[in-house]
Structure 1
Amino acid sequence: MAQNKPNAFMAFVADWRACNRFGRGLSTSEAVAKCGPIWEGMSDRERGQYKSKAKDSNVLERESKTERLNCPGVHSKMQVEKNEAIDAELQMKRNIKRIVLKATNSMKLEEREFLFVSFNYFTKALNGDVYQPAELSACRFSLKGGISSNYSTMINPGHIIFGQTSDAQDHSRTTHKLPLPPNAMGEKNLGNLYSDTLKWLSASNDEEDEQYDHPVIVYTTPELMPVVKSCFRYLACEGDTDKHAEKIMVYDICYLFLTLKKTVLDLVGVPSDHMNIHVTNSFFRRDFFEFSSGIACDYHEEVDRTKYCTKSMVLRWGYMISHYICGDLAIPLQPRKHVPIEVKHSYTVTPGDSSLALDGTWTDSGYSGY
């Protein structure tokens, strides 16, 4: 029989027994009977801290792994986790190369769609890698079609992780400026939100993915990978859909960019030896579409926080990849799809020279200073 998940009421019972000398002498069933009427008389605000504790316990339980011992019998969990992280990164890179190679061999590289995802969060739990989601955005992107569609929503988890209100206020004030729960904007039913998001993302899977039940692969920046992974787990856990928690794989968009660029350069006969992950990472850090108007949600446009809007982020990633790769394939840049609406490009495609942009010498695109 599957073990029951911790819930808010049982978190209250445990706290009551720990703080009440009389309660420590009761069995669990007796304590539950004693606490029932007390719980019924509590307000939603009073119950909030116990809901938060139960939530954190559920998410952390899913993340926990059995500790192993080294030869002297000492826990080597850190080394095990380090090795697992290295293996996961290598597997991710192999998968990205396989995806791009498959599209290239089938002559569909220009049409191959990729999913970009970003999350904003309210706060991070102190005792685990748990981020509480505040905003989600995703978009579909291909080299030929640019950004074909996007999905964006704000999220209201109902309450802040217990004891984290001050940290959440500081984080919001210095980044996305979203109001905190319980006054947060957006979707409150996180289970439905996760199901709707998974459905939207899964629409990009091809027939082979559907046939073999392959996970959905999404891309984000290296800095946001732990945030995106944790926020998806949070939504899946809240919606009681743990069995689908592994349906979404989060990959490095910078490594995708590198793989695409090197592949395209090879296709057009341009040397690609100078390209490496440090080069592609630097372009994403520059983020020269950061101040483009008209690509953020209405709220972040109004409060002047477009840089931190997740919708703006995923669109900017598509624009950056388009800017650095489409010229090599003589793909015309379309406003809203490959570039922001107000940007006008005037470059001429010359296969032998267009890739010089990656060395910082391509200056006929309407931008300067990079």
Structure 2
Amino acid sequence: MTQEIEETVRVLKHQNSLKTHLFHLVHVNYYCKDSSGRYLGCEIALAEFSFVDGVRKSLHTFINPNQIPLGYAYLETKPATGIHLIALPADDFGSESDHLEMLGNIRLFLMGEDGDKTNLLHLYMRPGDIKAVESVLWQLNERPGLHMNAGRDSFCIYSVCKLFHKLQNTSMGVPSEVILPSSFLDEHDLINDTPEFVEGISCFFHEELEAMRYCSLSHMERWSFLIMEECCGLLAIEIVSGKHCDLSTYLTKRARVVYLIWCWNPKNNSKKQY
């Protein structure tokens, strides 16, 4: 995985396409993990961003697992629903039962208008939940259907933390033989990032329940913003509100810059502490 990420970013830098390349992030919430290691998903979201365009589009769907294994409906789903609040039965809020159609929508989202299947190869997720994403996508691939099963091995789920580490090193112009600490963005940062309660970047369900921080769609937006916020300046790309960061974060930072400029303006006769 690490070699694949390093090679991907190296090639992008060599081709001068790092700023325009499309990266895809993915996140799932799930009801439970059964004894076979299978995760029963209840929500999935994907986001597409580039450093130049910011977040270009996103995809969000509630998953109807159709059937919870006997013995798991209470003991295993109660802790999960206590976090993401997506309760059973899933039909109550418009979850998708046609898993084949859901898989098709994911493929179309990733391939784009030109139908480029190479975009299916790399999806990035928080390291601790990679197994859950792999499991949910595998189950969607398992569903009986015409030609969809031919691409069951097309999804590769990699660590978004390792991706960010390599992107930041490359954006700073750090030579490939120099290895900087990988603590720029770890899993703890992705779970406890600052804009976790920002409104307007999560789905309607979690917005109404004021549980935005647990929404899969909110995770996608926030992770994209975190990566772009750190790298865009190094790549000489202007931050645009709504594309590279949420509006409230943008306004807060802009107000702070204005305040600092005012404090250090000689006409104000004093330099305030900050």
Q: TM-score, normalised by structure 1?
A: 0.63
SS of 1:246's partner is coil
Measure how far apart 1:99 and its partner are.
1.1
- Bigger relative CO (Cα 8 Å, ≥ 6 apart): 2
SS of 1:218's partner is strand
1:260 aligns with one of 167, 170, 178: 167
Residues 301 and 247 (structure 1 numbering): CA distance in 2 closer, same or farther, change over 3 Å?
same
2:39 aligns with one of 114, 118, 131: 131
Q: Which amino acid aligns with 1:327?
A: G
Q: Which amino acid aligns with 1:277?
A: S
Q: Which residue of 2 aligns with 1:247?
A: 154
8 Å contact 1:194–1:239 — kept in the other structure? Answer: no
Identity, % of aligned positions: 23
Q: Which residue of 2 aligns with 1:330?
A: 236
Q: If each structure's helix is expressed as a fraction of its own residues, which one has the higher value?
A: 1
Q: Which residue of 2 aligns with 1:299?
A: 205
Residues 141 and 277 (structure 1 numbering): CA distance in 2 closer, same or farther, change over 3 Å?
same
Within a 5 Å distance, the mapping from 1:53-68 to structure 2 comes to none
Q: Which amino acid aligns with 2:62?
A: M
8 Å contact 1:120–1:134 — kept in the other structure? Answer: yes
Residues 333 and 239 (structure 1 numbering): CA distance in 2 closer, same or farther, change over 3 Å?
farther
Residues 148 and 246 (structure 1 numbering): CA distance in 2 closer, same or farther, change over 3 Å?
same
Query: Is 1:232 matched with 2:137?
Result: yes
Distance 2:17 2:137 in 1: 30
Distance 2:33 2:190 in 1: 24
Q: Which amino acid aligns with 1:109?
A: L
Query: Is 1:289 matched with 2:195?
Result: yes
Structure 2 gap segments, 5+ residues each: 258-273
8 Å contact 1:205–1:216 — kept in the other structure? Answer: no
Distance 2:201 2:119 in 1: 32
Measure how far apart 1:105 and its partner are.
0.8
Distance 1:147 1:262 in 2: 21
Q: Which amino acid aligns with 2:220?
A: V
Distance 1:198 1:214 in 2: 9
Query: Is 1:146 matched with 2:54?
Result: yes
SS of 1:117's partner is strand
Distance 1:292 1:239 in 2: 39
Measure how far apart 1:218 and its partner are.
0.6
Distance 1:215 1:295 in 2: 24
Measure how far apart 1:171 and its partner are.
2.7
Distance 2:39 2:218 in 1: 20
Q: Which moved more, 1:281-290 or 1:130-139?
A: 281-290
SS of 1:138's partner is strand
Measure how far apart 1:279 and its partner are.
3.2
8 Å contact 1:139–1:315 — kept in the other structure? Answer: yes
8 Å contact 1:160–1:181 — kept in the other structure? Answer: no
SS of 2:172's partner is helix
Deviations 1:84-127 (A, max 9, x none): xxxxxxxx1111111111111111111111000111111111x2
Residues 238 and 161 (structure 1 numbering): CA distance in 2 closer, same or farther, change over 3 Å?
farther
Measure how far apart 1:137 and its partner are.
0.5
Distance 1:172 1:239 in 2: 28
Distance 2:50 2:185 in 1: 18
Distance 2:191 2:204 in 1: 25
Structure 1 gap segments, 5+ residues each: 1-91, 349-367
Distance 2:220 2:169 in 1: 22
Query: How many correspondences in the alignment?
Result: 251
Q: Which moved more, 1:227-236 or 1:337-346?
A: 337-346
Q: Which amino acid aligns with 1:228?
A: V
8 Å contact 2:39–2:132 — kept in the other structure? Answer: yes
Query: Is 1:171 matched with 2:76?
Result: no
Distance 1:316 1:204 in 2: 25
8 Å contact 1:222–1:253 — kept in the other structure? Answer: yes
Report the aligned-residue RMSD: 2.6
Distance 2:240 2:75 in 1: 41
Deviations 1:304-339 (A, max 9, x none): 211110000010000100111111122111112111
Measure how far apart 1:276 and its partner are.
2.3
Higher alpha-carbon Rg: 1
Q: Which residue of 2 aligns with 1:157?
A: 65
Distance 1:176 1:217 in 2: 26
